[in-house]
Amino acid sequence: MDDTTRRRFMGTLLAAPVLAGLAPALRASGDDDAIIASAAEALDVFDFERAARAKLPPAHWGYLKTGVDGDATLRANESGFANYSLRVRRLVDISRIDTSVRLFGTTWPSPVFLDPVGSQRAFHADGERASAKAARSRKHLQILSTVSSTGVEDVNAARGEPVWYQLYPTDQWPLAQALVRRAEAAGCPVLVLTVDLQGGSNRVTLARAKRRDPRECAACHTSSPRLADEIASKPMFRGLDLRAVEDLAPPGMNWDYIRRLRDAWPRKLVIKGLVTREDALITVENGLDGIVVSNHGGRAEDSGRASIDSLAEIAPAIAGRMPVLVDGGVRRGADIFKALALGATAVGIGRPYIWGLASFGQEGVERVLEILQSELVGNMRQAGTRNVAEIGASYIVDRRRA
C-alpha cells in the first residue's frame, strides 16, 4: 500500500463512527496519519487538514480544496515557498522577540491575519462568529467576506471591534453602494475590494466533489444556477434587489470604477488580487491605501504562478509607499518569515484556519493561530531577527538564482 493510499485508508477508518473508539489506540501507536481528537493534540496545521477532511461532507471539502481548472496555481502557491531559503545569522541576542506590525494606525501583535473566506457555516455551525472569537482571543486582524454566512454586525460583536470588510461589488452599482454603506455604518475601518474574479472561476475540483456528495442540499442552500438565487440567503444581501445580478465582480470593472468606489468610501481602501508590478504601480498612482497580493488561493486564474513570486515582484516596486499584504499557500511559520523578508507588511491565511474551524470550531482556529505564531517566533530566533522590521531581503535566498 503506497503512502497516498494508506493516508486515505486511515482517514476513512478514523472517520467511521463505528470505529471511532480505535482512534486513541492509533494515536498512541505513533501513526503520523492518525486523526487528532482535540485541538491541543495538533503539532502543525496539517493535523487540522486531516481532521477537517474526515469531518466535512464531500462537497464542502471540495469547496475548500478546489483551485481553478487543473489546480496548477493552487499547487504553485503551496510549493512556491520552497524556492526560497533562509540565510540565518548567529550570536545575536534573541532573548526578546517582537512580532508586532502596524497597519493604518493600529498595532497588531502578529503579522498573521485571517483572510476573507465565505460561507463558514458550511464548515462549522458557529461559522464566522467562531473565527471572530478566535481572532479576538489571539489578537489577530480579521477580514470578513461579502458572502459570509453571518452579517458584519454580528461578526463585529463577536470580534469585539469592527473587522475589515472585503467587497464583492456585484455588477450592479446600487448594490455596491448598499454594501459599502452597511460596512461604513458597522464601523469597518478598511474596505478590501477583490478584483481577481472578473474572468470567472472554473472550479473543477469542486464540481467533481459535488458529484460524489449524495446529500440533499436544498435545506441549506439553493442549487439554482442563477447567482442571484445563490447569494439571496447571504446575510449581507438580504433585503436587496438581486434580480439583475449576474456576477459578483463587474466584468467591466476598471480603474475608473476604482476611482468611483474611492469617492463612495470615506476610509481606507485596499485592492486584493493584484499579482504584477504594473498594476501595483497604478494602484499607487490612483491614491489607494494598500494592496493584497493574491491569486485567491489559487482559485482565480490558471497562471501557475505562486503568490510569493508575485510578492517578490511587487514589493520592490511599491518601495514602502503603502502596505503590501500577501496570501496564498502559507502553511508554516517559515512561510510567514519568507513573505516578510520579501517585503510583506502582513501575511494572510485562509484554508489553515478553516481546517481548524471545521475540526474544532473556535478552539481549532485559535490553535492554528497559536501554531503559526509559535513557528514564526522560532524562525525569527533561528535567523537572529528580533523584530519584524529586521526581517529583510538579506535573510532570504532565491534558490533558482543562487
The verdict on 31 and 111 lying in the same domain is no
pLDDT at 202: 87
199-to-135, 205, 294, 310 alpha-carbon distances in Å: 32, 18, 15, 19
Beta strands 346-349; 396-398: pairing state: unpaired
Reading the block at residue 145, the C-alpha cell is: 467576506
The verdict on 143 and 214 lying in the same domain is yes
The verdict on 91 and 19 lying in the same domain is no
pLDDT digits (tens, 9 = 90+) for 286-312: 999 999 999 999 999 999 999 999 999
The verdict on 129 and 110 lying in the same domain is yes
Q: How many CB atoms lie within 10 A of CB 315?
A: 23
The verdict on 8 and 74 lying in the same domain is no
The verdict on 219 and 284 lying in the same domain is yes
pLDDT digits (tens, 9 = 90+) for 343-387: 999 999 999 999 999 999 999 999 999 999 999 999 999 999 999
Q: Which DSSP symbol is given to 294?
A: -
pLDDT at 199: 79
Reading the block at residue 152, the C-alpha cell is: 458584519
Number of structural domains the chain divides into: 2
The verdict on 6 and 49 lying in the same domain is no
pLDDT at 16: 43
pLDDT at 100: 98
Among all chains, which residue has been given the C-alpha cell 442552500? 221
Reading the block at residue 330, the C-alpha cell is: 502559507
The verdict on 362 and 224 lying in the same domain is yes
CATH number of domain containing 357: 3.20.20.70
Q: Is 156 left (phi over 0), alpha (psi -120 to 50) or beta?
A: alpha
Q: Does the active-site annotation cover 296?
A: yes
The verdict on 325 and 378 lying in the same domain is yes
Of these residues, 60, 124, 140, 296, which one is catalytic? 296
Reading the block at residue 218, the C-alpha cell is: 436544498
The verdict on 206 and 354 lying in the same domain is yes
Contacts of residue 7, Cβ cutoff 8 Å, sequence gap at least 6: 33, 50
The verdict on 7 and 90 lying in the same domain is no
The verdict on 212 and 313 lying in the same domain is yes
Cα distance between residue 172 and residue 182, in whole Å: 16
Cα distance between residue 273 and residue 186, in whole Å: 24
Beta strands 190-194; 164-167: pairing state: parallel
CA atoms lying within 13 Å on the CB side of residue 179: 30
Range of the domain at 30: 1-35
Show pLDDT as tens, one digit a residue, over the chain (402 residues): 444 444 444 444 444 433 334 443 333 334 567 999 999 999 999 999 999 999 999 999 999 999 999 999 999 999 999 999 999 999 999 999 999 999 999 999 999 999 999 999 999 999 999 999 999 999 999 999 999 999 999 999 999 999 999 999 999 999 999 999 999 999 999 999 999 998 788 899 888 888 888 877 655 666 667 888 889 999 999 999 999 999 999 999 999 999 999 999 999 999 999 999 999 999 999 999 999 999 999 999 999 999 999 999 999 999 999 999 999 999 999 999 999 999 999 999 999 999 999 999 999 999 999 999 999 999 999 999 999 999 999 999 999 997
Q: What is the residue-wise DSSP string for 143-210?
A: EE-TT-SS-HHHHHHHHTSPPEEEE---S-HHHHHHHHHHHHHTT-SEEEEE-S-TT----HHHHHHH
306-to-80, 172, 245 alpha-carbon distances in Å: 6, 32, 32
Rounded to 5°, the CA angle 228-233-236 comes to 90
